Amino acid sequence: MFDKLKKLFSKEEEVVELQHKPEERPQVLVKVHRLDSIADVDAIERDVKTGHIAFVKAKDIQRRDFAEFQASIQKIQRLARNYGWDVVGVEEGYLIIAPRNARIVRD
């Protein structure tokens, strides 16, 4: 009994080393897409919904079929409003579409 009490009140400390693991963050990819028809918006939607940034080349459809280009842009804008995405058009007919967890900084 005395040994048990001695162990309880002894000043011996046990040192435990903790392993530090860096916090794992999900990887955000930048996916490059070509917008050739309104059907291509579905692939863009799928990638941005999964958290990836879409870099979309739209200048070919803009030159070839302006009406389909406008319909595609309207669909992308509607999706952006519904899901909280950030969309910006850049020079030379490219779009950048960022998911809800990313923001595009404008100057």
- Output the pTM of the full model: 0.73
Question: How far is 107 from 93, CA to CA, in rounded Å?
Answer: 19
Question: How far is 84 from 101, CA to CA, in rounded Å?
Answer: 9
Question: How far is 100 from 6, CA to CA, in rounded Å?
Answer: 60
Pairing of strands 53-57, 94-98: antiparallel
Report domain extents, the chain. 30-107
Question: How far is 56 from 29, CA to CA, in rounded Å?
Answer: 14
The arrangement of secondary structure in 30-107, i.e. its CATH architecture, is 2-Layer Sandwich (3.30)
At 80 the pLDDT is 97
At 30 the pLDDT is 94
pLDDT (average), residues 28-32: 92
The answer to whether the beta carbons of residues 61 and 68 sit under 8 Å apart is yes
Residue pLDDT, tens place only, 44-99: 999 999 999 999 999 999 999 999 999 999 999 999 999 999 999 998 899 999 99
| Residue 37: pLDDT band with limits 50, 70, 90 | very high
E strands, 1-107, where? 30-34, 53-57, 86-90, 94-98
At 72 the pLDDT is 96
